[in-house]
A and B are shown apart, each in its own frame.
Chain A
Amino acid sequence: DVKVTQSSRYLVKRTGEKVFLECVQDMDHENMFWYRQDPGLGLRLIYFSYDVKMKEKGDIPEGYSVSREKKERFSLILESASTNQTSMYLCASVKGTGGGYGYTFGSGTRLTVV
């Protein structure tokens, strides 16, 4: 069964900490994404990557960075966590560059910053 795996289901971090959220996919997909999900706001795109070492800003990149050193792994980094980054974070991947395919999502990481 193909899979997108997020390393943590729940995380609690302190304000100012550097936080790493890890995502691994086993489908050899070129494209990977990080979204955050907040009630009433839906899924908002933070960053995406269409190839190893390539990254593009999404709609809300402020306060975040990403790393993609290997095709299967896409990491989201909160440089200095703040309480307004408390949220559900979802990783997704999809094949190809021509469009028209559905994403496969991970189960999410619920991050609480205190």
Chain B
Amino acid sequence: GAVVSQHPSWVICKSGTSVKIECRSLDFQATTMFWYRQFPKQSLMLMATSNEGSKATYEQGVEKDKFLINHASLTLSTLTVTSAHPEDSSFYICSASSGQLKGKAFFGQGTRLTVV
């Protein structure tokens, strides 16, 4: 149990275009989802916290208008990278948690974004 799925696993897009990444909890209802970014050889950095039915809370330095987060249901959160630039190329990872799981966070497999 407690499976989190991300889609797509990888994506290549042109500069200036937008890309949407989906994060789904497959077998539990996730009251909260989190989005992280990871650059090569570095640790995971939290970008934002997404609660179902409310606006996401962004970490300091993360542009909310560039990284749009929608958490429309208890099993789905989306991250849209708008007007992507090469410096947005990174590994994006989501996690999901719920009270049912005693607050434990379960991670998706990540999405490799390359902006050319």
Chain B binds chain A: no
A contact residues vs B (CB 8 Å cutoff): none
